[in-house]
Chain A
Amino acid sequence: MADPTGNENFVIQTPERVATVEAGAHTLAGAGAGVELGGADAYGMSGEAKSQWRILLGRFLHQRMGMIGLCVFALLAISSVLVGHFWQYSYTSITNNLNDPPSWSNPFGTNAIGNDMFAQVMAGVEKDIEIALTVAAMATLIGVTIGAIAGFYRGWVDSLLMRFVDLVLVLPVLAVLIVLANKLSKESDNWLGLAIIIGLLSWTYVARLVRADFLSLRERDFVEASRALGATNRRIIVKHMLPNAVGPIIVNATLTVALSIIFESTLSFLGLGVQPPNVSLGLLVDQGQDSATTEWWLFVFPVVFLIILILSIFLIGDGLREAFDPKKSRVRA
């Protein structure tokens, strides 16, 4: 799957751009969504292609929970960036107030060395989203490629790739993450490396999903019809089959975002993930747990934001699943 139009959409956005509503939704809609738009654009027919997407958008907009999830997620993403730029304290700045409870100047209080917790939590949110989107983009790109090739060619190619998937699946993920992350944690700006490791371990599910979809799609008449018209294998995979598998891919990409935040938090909580001076919500939870009973604000705010963030993404995923499921839609857009 070397389609350049598809790949462009897998590329992760820079943090600033991710954190706008549109870019957020677009990247969430994931890698798969880009492929069809890309393919349609190549023929200068994006206008027509959009109408299909407009139907899906219409269905999604009618999902109350999905919309709540999207709004919350967008709000978190936007405000994390805004806070990073405009809040009076940066997450690295040290105030004179040590271990202050929440107040007007420090809404989430301060920690033992005087960092403003509001700035810290929002920086954690931003970092978590960056990591999660990188992971989802990577996992989707790898998973879709391997799954599509395995499902399309079947035979020994399929066997080989699926045994490889099995191999990755039987790796005790946490142990591998701990070993690899341990090496990484020696570097200070390690979040990208961390994201890549999580990404390299979380593509297996989407690979199986896409393979299963492709196994059924390849038997559909339109695939044979396009072959009868002289389409090459690559063209059939990228242009004819992938757009038909886009629904589950997008939903799965969304769930990968949420799961990778959980992973990252686990690692950071164990001290193997994001390292200071960078912050992530998991790291903040770890740092705040000792004083959870005394300086509650150090613990409660990161935990609450972590839960809200993950929950909002799961809600988006559910909404997308409903939107893509023709049997469940009672709303005609």
Chain B
Amino acid sequence: MTEPTLQVEHLEVDFPTKDGVVHAVRGVDLSLAPGEVLGIVGESGSGKSVTALATMGLLPKGANVRGSIRFGGDDLLTLKEKELTKVRGTGIAMIFQDPMTSLNPVYTIGWQITEAILAHQDISKDAAMARAIELLAMVGIPNPAERVDNYPHEFSGGMRQRAVIAIAMANDPEVILADEPTTALDVTVQAQVLNSLKTAMAETGAALLLITHDLGVIAGLADRVLVMYAGRPVEIGTAEDVFYRPSMPYTLGLLGSLPRLDSDGTERLRQIPGSPPSMLGDRTGCPFAARCPLAADICRETEPELVVVPSVNSALGEHRAACHFAEAVGRGDHGKVFSDGVVDNVIV
């Protein structure tokens, strides 16, 4: 395996609050090879976005970050703000969830792309503008030479997100962090935006860290998938592993809650009962135990480690899961872990 561009080790993020310390991220390890797409999935509040923001050094000042984030020979967590500013944009670029708000309403799209270029490169405004038009063309904006003078409100949601992707591409980053890039968009334009993301990766050779709770997006794009729950990775592996041999009940639950076109129509969607635990204070045992149909005494007493489990094709990479019954779950011994019965109130 090649040297990873981005390597996050033992990342922990705490937020001190009035009610106590919130452990938002509890030990995330991940590595990103050049050109690779790593998808991070999980419910709201599972620590996905905090992981991304920590990587960019964009967490609020009160946040307590430990661990290491290696990028380009530096540990980003030890860099000073000034040095971080140089990494942002050129080394790691970020795409935010809502393109309606992540573009500045008072400037033209072209201005905002050239602003990104000129912040890091010493080229003329005309050259930057030419590059902006080129970038817009790459992400599939029709008539880029005219559209470059438009304001964000003159763009549709999908076009705005593509413009945001163009901005992220502007300085040839090595890593692009996309934090739910399609969540705020109409389903019909999601595919276009994902295509633009693929173009961005192809053009810049960047690795992509794709954060989403849309498993469909992950399935279409990701090489490897990291499933997060309660601030921790609970399963990581190639997309094949996670989709075809899920070894953690939570992953199973996520997959089961997805409607399938190939079902015969009689099968009901399954939901995971309950909601994620509070991240406040310390806890013993598996964080998923309270919602897990398989939970046994051991689950409530010790938190399972992320251990290597059998994979569909181990040549492609390791498959790890954090469950006391990972191997049995992976073999499918338990059949449908989540029963159909609990969703009577859901119209399928």
Interface residues of A (CB under 8 A from B): 36, 40, 43-45, 48-49, 51-52, 155, 220-222, 224-232, 235, 239-240, 243-244, 246
Contacts and interface: CB of A to CB of B under 8 A. Distances in A.
Nearest to A227: B58
B149 A48 contact: yes
A204 B120 CA distance: 37
Interface of B: 56, 58, 61, 85-90, 93-94, 96-98, 101-108, 110-111, 114-116, 118-120, 125-126, 149, 151, 164, 167-168, 170-171
A45 B93 contact: no
Closest 3 CB pairs of A and B: A230-B89, A221-B101, A230-B88
A222 B94 contact: no
A97 B266 CA distance: 107
B102 A48 contact: no
A229 B116 contact: yes
A239 B126 CA distance: 19
A57 to B, nearest CB: 15
B94 A228 contact: yes
Given A43-B118, A48-B108, A52-B106, 10 more contacts: A48-B110, A48-B111, A51-B149, A221-B102, A225-B102, A225-B167, A228-B56, A228-B88, A228-B94, A229-B119
Question: Which of A36, A49, A224, A235 has the most CB atoms of chain B within a 10 A radius of its CB?
Answer: A224
Contact of B119 (A40, A221, A231): A231
A43 B58 contact: no
Contacts of A246: 106
Question: Which of A43, A51, A52 has the most CB atoms of chain B within a 10 A radius of its CB?
Answer: A43
Nearest to A228: B94
Contacts of A229: 88-89, 93-94, 115-116, 119, 167-168, 170-171
Contacts of A228: 56, 58, 88-89, 93-94, 96
A224 B58 contact: yes
A224 B96 contact: yes
Contacts of B103: 222, 225
A36 B104 CA distance: 13
B16 to A, nearest CB: 15
Contact of A243 (B97, B107, B120, B164): B107
Given A222-B101, A225-B94, A230 B120 contact: yes
A323 B167 CA distance: 31
Contacts of A227: 58, 88
Contacts of A36: 106
A228 B125 CA distance: 21
Contacts of B86: 230
28 contacts: A36-B106, A43-B115, A43-B118, A44-B126, A45-B111, A45-B125, A48-B149, A49-B111, A51-B149, A155-B61, A221-B96, A221-B101, A222-B105, A224-B96, A225-B94, A225-B96, A225-B103, A228-B93, A229-B93, A229-B94, A229-B171, A230-B120, A231-B115, A232-B85, A235-B119, A239-B115, A243-B106, A244-B105
Contacts of B56: 228
A7 to B, nearest CB: 20
A232 B94 CA distance: 16
A180 B68 CA distance: 59
A52 B151 contact: yes
A150 B86 CA distance: 25
Contacts of B119: 229-231, 235
